[in-house]
Amino acid sequence: MADAAARVVPFTIAPADAGERLDLLVARACDLSRTQAATLIATGQVLVEGRAEKASYRAVAGEAVVVTIPPPPGREVVPEQIPLVIAYEDDELVVVDKAAGMVVHPAPGNWTGTLVNALMGRGEPLAEGGGEERAGLVHRLDKDTSGLLIVAKTDTAHRALSAALAARQVTRRYVAVCWGHLATDTQTVDAPIARDARDRTRMAITPGGKPARTDFVRLARLDSVDLLRAHLHTGRTHQIRVHLASIGHPVIGDDTYGGGGGRKLAGLPPQRHFLHAAWLRFRHPASGALLDVRSPLPPELRRSIATLSAMPEFEHTTDPLVHFGFFDEG
């Protein structure tokens, strides 16, 4: 296989950007973090009018900048024996019930311990359409979001499931708890999402972003929070979290988007937000049969609901999702 080619990104300093630091401009133009941009500048991969400058260089309007981004170093994805909870499986696909804290696929900084490493360690076939590092993945979940995720075993299934997802024929419903109370029992947020121009690790509502729509239904109004069912119509990165934060009701425990305070009040452990992919419905890529796959709340989220509702039975005996009608049609 031929080595991957470097990516070259040329751009010109706009008048509105004159006087800004070079590392910020490179990060914005190339969709990189500021640290990544600074590393490229320090290693001579960024030229301003043909010359090297420092990351702190203040750009001048009209200057031509050329950024050369080397290909990532090749890394073999190693199969690992990591236990997984399987919610459904046959010869064409597997639905994994992912634990919070697990990264979905290998990437710089997370080459091992990911869901893909674990899937490869099972010894089952995986579709190759997404490449080795994304073997079989049809969609993704954030690291700290738990729940159901579809993986294709064959390329035929991967193509069919990806097409169904793009055509919005896969129903994905999440349970979330947000701070405060929505203005109405049902609310739709239809707002485009893109990377935050000033912090590449975050997403933001941006006029030029990709279309994103989420429907929210309030299942319970508790003392200081709402228990919600969220229905994704699109699948943008951090979509539910960004949309709830944008209307002033961030997901509890979400440090990135303003919901991280009050974990003790919410009964949540560290590094955990209350977002769980609990329900998938889709047509089987081979048989066409309707698959309805459900995931119970993980123990730490059951404890949180028990704390927030002052109903201790939710931790062990009563299923809060069933109690509050999460799986009811509508």
Rounded-to-integer distance, Cα 247 and Cα 176, Å: 15
Task: Find, among 293, 288, 260, the residue nearest to 274 by Cα.
Answer: 260
**Which residues make Cβ contacts (< 8 Å) with residue 205, sequence separation at least 6?**
191, 192, 193, 242, 246
The CA-atom distances, in angstroms, between 300 and each of 142, 162, 172, 260, 293 are 17, 32, 22, 16, 21
Task: Find, among 236, 228, 180, the residue nearest to 205 by Cα.
Answer: 236
Burial class from Cβ neighbours inside 10 Å (0-12, 13-18, 19+) for residue 133 reads: middle
142: annotated active-site residue: yes
Handedness of CA 38, 39, 45, 50 (dihedral sign): positive
| Element at 173 (helix H, strand E) | strand 171-179
Does residue 217 contact residue 229 with C-beta atoms inside 8 Å? yes
Rg over alpha carbons for the chain, rounded to the nearest Å, is: 22
**Which residues make Cβ contacts (< 8 Å) with residue 228, sequence separation at least 6?**
175, 176, 177, 178, 182, 216, 217, 218, 219
- HSE on the CB side for 321, CA within 13 Å? 22
Choosing from 17, 23, 97, 142, the catalytic residue is: 142
Rounded-to-integer distance, Cα 104 and Cα 211, Å: 23
- Which residue numbers are catalytic? 142
